[in-house]
Amino acid sequence: MPERFFAAQQCGFQAVEFLWPYAWPVDDIHHWLQDNNLELVLVNTPPGEGEMGLAAIPGKEETFQQQFRMTLDYASRLGASMIHLMAGQDSESVKASESLFIEHVRWASDLARSSSIAILLEPLNTRDAPGYLHTRIDHTARLIDDIGRDNVKLQFDFYHRQLMEGDLATNLKRHFDIIGHVQFSSLPGRHEPQFGEVNMPYLFDYLDELGYTGWIGCEYSAKEDTRQGLVWGTAYGLGSSSTPEPLT
């Protein structure tokens, strides 16, 4: 893991996401960030045991709260400004799951506020996350409105949105006021953007036009070699380093 932080810095990245850092001590991660002059921008709440999160699952309230406190401790001590709060698959009663989810997000956002951390809600897709509580962007936007906390934002992932509804530029503009973070990968395959059907450079430019000033996360798996696959990023100051061993 430490070599991944070094490789990110060598390839020109200024920040990283570390979705599930909980197997490593906070002090170790802090050193990896500091040694490579990197900012940690995002962590996820734990996914549970196949549930894709616990925030919307009745009967898991105590576990969710314990795990969120752990997540908040990692995020605040490591300087991360965002936590993706994972909902989990809906129960037999969607209404009960939504009610519980809203209650949990309010509780979590109030705790995170003192550390100036935003809570992100990300609608996933039904192919990779069947039964996930919220999968359409309008649904997530309604949840955010119902939650009523100004530090709860939308995590807009081009991959999930293209699979579920497309119309990416229109949806970026329509929901721009609640977007807190953006991620991308190609389709099909979830690889680098040069291998996909979506015009990512256009969307990056469009985010600039809209006035987006946040980070964009490269949430993809390299098709072959990670460094060689960064040819798409030369326009943004990213690229292959002279480090001989490939990042895998």
Active-site positions?
Answer: 122, 219
Axis crossing angle, helix 94-113 with helix 137-147, rounded to the nearest 10: 60
106-124 CB burial, b ≥16 within 10 A, e <16: bebbebbeeeebbbbbbbb
Summary count for the chain: helices (H), strands (E): 8, 7
Dihedral of CA 32/35/36/42: which sign?
A: positive
**What's at 230, amino acid-wise?**
L
What are residue 46's phi and psi, to 5 degrees? -60, 145
Q: In angstroms, rounded to a whole number, what is the distance separating the alpha carbons of residues 113 and 128? A: 31
**H or E, element range at 6:** helix 2-10
